[in-house]
A = this chain, B = another copy of it.
Amino acid sequence: MSRYSDLLKKINQKSANVCVVGLGYIGLPTALYYASRGLIVHGLDTNEVIIDELREGIIRARERGLVELAENYLSKINLETSYSEVESAEVYVLCLPSPIDKNKRVVTRYLEDSVTKLSETLRKGALILVESTVPVGTTERLAELFGEKGGLKLDKDYWFAHSPERVLPGKVLDELGTNHRLVGGVSERSTELATAFLSSVFEPNNVHPTTARIAEAAKLAENAYRDVNVAYANELARICSVVGIDVNEVIKLANLHPRVKILQPGIGVGGYCLPKDGWLLVESVRDGSFEPRVIPAAREINDSMPAHVFDRIRQINHEILSLKRVVGVLGLSFKPNISDTRNSPSVELIRLLIDAGIDVVVYDPYVDRDFGARRAESLDDLLNICEVVVIGAGHDVIIEQLRESDLDEKVVIDPNNVIPDIQGRVKLYLGISN
């Protein structure tokens, strides 16, 4: 029991060496946040480019407050690229990617590789905390792998737990400090140590101990819930599109009901989490006796939305524009006011348009990529070239500028319903359904 008591004491005194493994979208803010809370923090990323940039103070992710936090705390973090440099740490926090492959199966090899390397280097008596979102049962499997590879005994030589990050891109730092944290160990002792660790960083009342499986399931359930509800709104939009009514009006009226709160339909669901977490939940029972229906249906509908918007554009092109095939897309990120374009439905729409031979011009003040389209230098430039304008991500700065622009001759397609009041000031306004 002495290793357990030693580690618990160090954790409570904030004297344990903590190593955040993976310094990406979640890992870097997490490491900085831990440092700001007075922990001794190491940051490990085997990608040398990331570490070199961080050593030069370059922050790629656009997160509100991140640059300021880095100015104050990046210098306090020991940045490393090799596992052998962090073998003295006592708490390892794994913030590694767990994406899906083309067959919608989770890729856990980043976690498996990390756990294998850790088992070879770390000293006895460490806590490993997986923050990556994973299918139910994965943390237990990783803990076993770790013990086998290193010849180590759970609850004696190491403890292993899962505490899923639950933050919203664009609000990572706000939410890191205030959101509730779930923490579930693969053993009771693991849960206790991981709870003590998180309680030393976050408000203890916001730290909720449970089991690894329940923590895994709860995180996946959150994101699949959002995905299913967006999918329902999108399915409703598709139905309204067929019967020729405005889904936004339908939702506004339906939501007058005290027990109804339908979300906003739109161009589709993007980002790192929502397009995959439903599949991770499905994969949790892929060898089981039950075949989920609702979650896969939701994924299918949400994935189909860029193609629906594309069909609407093609239709106008045929009906009223005939040969004028220049389409502008404004806002490329997967949601407004951020730079993150991972799995962005706007990018998928651009791909569909280009594949159909349509000349596409894009503009996004936060995104410096073109995704194979022509890139306008300003919104005015784009408006000068394009008669058809699609609002992908409705950044506030784009909406403000659109309101001040002359759009008399424009066909504006606004799948996310971000600027419905523009109707009457444009040649044609098209929402997602009407």
Report A's interface with B, CB cutoff 8 A. Answer: 136-137, 166, 179-180, 182, 208, 210-211, 213-215, 217-219, 221-222, 224-226, 228-229, 231-232, 235-236, 238-246, 249-251, 253-254, 256-262, 281, 284-285, 288-290, 292-298, 300-301
Instruction: Give, as a whole number of angstroms, the nearest-CB distance from A384 to chain B.
Output: 35
Would you call A256 and B180 a contact (CB within 8 A)?
Answer: yes
Would you call A211 and B245 a contact (CB within 8 A)?
Answer: yes
Those 7 A-B pairs whose CB atoms lie nearest each other, nearest first: A242-B288, A293-B297, A297-B297, A180-B256, A218-B253, A242-B285, A218-B254
Tell me if A's interface is mostly helix, strand, loop or mixed. Answer: helix
Residues of B within 8 A of A243 (CB): 136-137, 213, 217, 284-285, 288
Tell me, in angstroms, the Cα distance from A301 to B298 when the chains sit together: 14
Residues of B within 8 A of A285 (CB): 238-239, 242-243
Tell me, in angstroms, the Cα distance from A249 to B184 when the chains sit together: 12
Residues of B within 8 A of A289 (CB): 242
Least CB separation from A311: chain B residue: B289
Residues of B within 8 A of A256 (CB): 180, 182, 208
Tell me, in angstroms, the Cα distance from A182 to B239 when the chains sit together: 19
A285-B242, A288-B243, A290-B238 as given contacts; A225 in contact with B254, CB under 8 Å: yes
Least CB separation from A281: chain B residue: B239
Would you call B284 and A253 a contact (CB within 8 A)?
Answer: no
Would you call B245 and A136 a contact (CB within 8 A)?
Answer: yes
Residues of B within 8 A of A295 (CB): 232, 235
A249-B214, A262-B225 as given contacts; A180 in contact with B241, CB under 8 Å: no
Residues of B within 8 A of A254 (CB): 218-219, 221-222, 225
Instruction: Give, as a whole number of angstroms, the nearest-CB distance from A15 to chain B.
Output: 30
Tell me, in angstroms, the Cα distance from A278 to B288 when the chains sit together: 28
Would you call A221 and B245 a contact (CB within 8 A)?
Answer: no
Would you call B262 and A221 a contact (CB within 8 A)?
Answer: yes
